[in-house]
Amino acid sequence: MKDMSAGESPRIGSVVVSTAGRDRKRVFVVTDMAVEAGRIMLTVADGSLRRCAKGKRKNARHVRAFASVTESELEKLGAGPDDGFVKKLIGKYDPRTSAGSSEESRPERGGGEN
């Protein structure tokens, strides 16, 4: 996966973060694009809340692209997006799923010492 420059627009296979709407700050993968009434509309999915079979339609102005998949990953995505594959792509780049936030490093829930 490669980082995208700040001015680069999202395309199929881009890993994007939503900047507007109730899904703001969620990470998605672009699975389809279309031009409707002069606007670029994206279909995005995250593999869990928004499955590939029923992706979320978003205006391209309401997402920010930050990574693009490799050619081999793009071929897999083009063959028919798969929820598990989309989850793996997001897991590679989403900072919330980095190795530093593993279960072992989190404090236990519940009461303190008595």
Phi and psi torsions of 18, nearest 5°:
-75, 135
DSSP state of 49: S
pLDDT at 100: 38
Q: Record the pTM.
A: 0.72
Q: What is the pLDDT along the chain (114 residues), one digit of tens a residue?
A: 455 555 567 888 888 999 998 999 999 999 889 998 989 999 999 988 889 888 899 999 999 988 877 787 877 777 777 888 888 888 887 766 654 344 444 445 555 555
Q: Any idea what the Cα angle at residue 61 is, between residues 58 and 67, rounded to 5°?
A: 85
Domains annotated on the chain, with CATH: 2-97 (2.30.30.30)
pLDDT at 98: 53
Cα–Cα distance between 10 and 42 in angstroms, integer? 9
Cα–Cα distance between 71 and 13 in angstroms, integer? 9
pLDDT at 102: 42
